[in-house]
Structure 1
Amino acid sequence: MNLHHLKLFRAVARDGTLTGAARALNLSQSALSSQIRTLEAALGHDLFERRGRGLVLTEAGRIALDHAEAIFRAAEDLTATLRNTGRARRALRVGALATLSRNFQIGFIEPLIGRSDVEVVLRSGAQPELLRALEALSIDVVLTNLVPARDASSPYLAHALSAQTVSVIAPPGASALLGRPLPEILSSQPLILPAPESALRASFDAMVEQRGIATRIAAEADDMAMIRLLARANAGLAVIPPIVVRDELASGRLIELGRLEDLREEFFAITLHRRFPNPLVGELINAFKS
């Protein structure tokens, strides 16, 4: 068994037919079939079973494909790492959940801002898309407030960066509410809340349910930046971590009515088990935690 056998096996597994894989590899179908049989003999198991005109992986084939993908990721990792060795500038590719606080993202990469030896590439998107990019080694770290599902075979490492308190944020015109009990404020004022599918919203809903607080929702948004803008536009009181509106609180454009001590929003950096990790990632994680 060698890398060539695994490359051919992966091509057949992805295409589902010998004909299509042979065409893509510029090989004859008979030559490809012979190489697959050689690999099966070396492993001692059939890797495919025929269904109709196509081929599907056996249980052994699925296990072999998982290992083959890990081997090729390691090879790509090695190539990318060694190509960058000795270069004057290093690249750090950061993926961030599209709804994540921009202030948090800037705070994470802040130690690298202005460094002449580093180029920072920032991408945003949905979590499944970012995790696929992480596994494909096209990004080095994913910033998120959602821990991906993990099991014994999961390739992810979740680094807890911080747990932010959650506050009730209002425009300056609501200053008359300062000092009033938060349950009273939450039950009497229109609220701007994170979208129902967010972890923060789930925690908030559980809290008000437990305390018997009836709320009136003025707006919901899955983007923290939009919640900030709605609060500035006087659409209601926002339930968000203060870091999201740090600049507005400092300038007085928004005020903090109080903190919901029972609520926390956690932020994570997700990485992979890599033989050659980007050292800038560890540098940033350690800097943020300290």
Structure 2
Amino acid sequence: MNYHHLHYFWTVAREGGVSRAAEVLGVAQPTVSAQLAALERAVKQPLFVRGGRGLTLTEAGKLAYDYADEIFRLGGELQAAFAEGRATTPRLVVGVADVLPKLVVHRLLEPVLAGEERLVVVEDKPERLVAELALHNLDVVLTDGPAPPGVKVRAFNHLLGETGTTFCAAPSVKLAGRFPRSLDGAPVLLPLDSTTLRRALDQWFAEEGVRPVVRGEFADTALMKVFGAAGAGVYPVPTAVEGDALEQYGAVVVGRAERVRNRVYAVTVQRKLRHPAVAKVCETARTDLFG
């Protein structure tokens, strides 16, 4: 197989068409088309089919793209390592969606520190992280839902697990009645209404017929817990890490809502989890945290 041909194919697949790939590569369109044809002759299978909206990968093309993606990602890392004159050190670069609870993230990534990999964590909005993932600046993205549909990136979503929701509060917060009726009229601290968890909480409140008083909305769930520890109101935490929350923030359990689910996904550009540290994170999630 000619890897020069493979690089042209990979660029066409990433850019979504021959004309755009030709611009990126700085060559004429017929040159790109000729390279694609040569690669298809080499593998003896069509890699693209033409449709109403341009080129679409065949099943053989999808397989070729997965391998080419890994090949050129590794090639880029090797080139950067030589250019910087540094020894290559195994590392795991993780994008963490800012909506994920920090306690969950810590539990997921803690085993990486026990290995040989150097852990690098980047926090941002999910759509920005997935875009960085496509550029191979990240090895994996941890988020509360599948890759955002508006991001034009070919990504694979791996559900690591899910858990219910525990409502916590400082001992100084006094509530009347039994849970969940005790939340009616009670002060609560919640994540922003743009998050998956907040939408699930609002639906659960409506189903239970309770109307809490929202005293604060937070993009940073760790900050939300700090306000909760100060007695500002009742706040939700994933049930899987409620013990950590009670110990760290000195809270007490108000009640649990199993129907309000907290999910964690690992988003990658590979169908299979090839990075050993990513596989370790996923195994920890499924056996220790959510198991």
| TM-score greater than 0.5 by the shorter chain | yes
Segments of 5+ residues of structure 1 without an aligned counterpart are 48-56
Which range moves more in the overlay, 210-219 or 68-77?
68-77
* Residues 182 and 164 of structure 1, relative CA distance in 2, 3 Å threshold: same
Q: Output the CA distance in 1 between the equivalents of 2:163 and 2:111.
A: 20
Deviation (angstroms), 1:119: 0.7
Which residue of the partner structure matches residue 223 of structure 1? 220
Q: Output the CA distance in 1 between the equivalents of 2:56 and 2:169.
A: 54
Which residue of the partner structure matches residue 79 of structure 1? 75
Which residue of the partner structure matches residue 122 of structure 1? 121
Matched, 1:62 2:55: yes
Matched, 1:172 2:171: yes
Which residue of the partner structure matches residue 159 of structure 2? 159
Deviation (angstroms), 1:284: 2.3
**Normalization by structure 2: what TM-score?**
0.72
Q: Output the CA distance in 1 between the equivalents of 2:99 and 2:33.
A: 48
Contact 2:175 2:186 (8 Å CA) reproduced: no
Question: Which residue of 227, 236, 253 corresponds with 2:250?
Answer: 253
Which protein has the larger Cα radius of gyration, Structure 1 or Structure 2? 1
Which residue of the partner structure matches residue 236 of structure 1? 233
3-state SS, counterpart of residue 172 of structure 1: coil
Contact 2:159 2:263 (8 Å CA) reproduced: no
The aligned length equals 264
Which residue of the partner structure matches residue 184 of structure 2? 187
**Normalization by structure 1: what TM-score?**
0.72
Segments of 5+ residues of structure 2 without an aligned counterpart are 41-47, 82-86
Q: Output the CA distance in 2 between the equivalents of 1:216 and 1:234.
A: 14
Paired-residue identity, %: 21
Contact 1:94 1:143 (8 Å CA) reproduced: yes
| RMSD between superposed Cα atoms in Å | 4.0
Q: Can you list the C-alpha shifts for 1:128-157, whole angstroms capped at 9, x where unaligned?
A: 11112222222122111112368xx95303
Which residue of the partner structure matches residue 98 of structure 2? 98
Deviation (angstroms), 1:76: 1.2
Which residue of the partner structure matches residue 31 of structure 2? 35
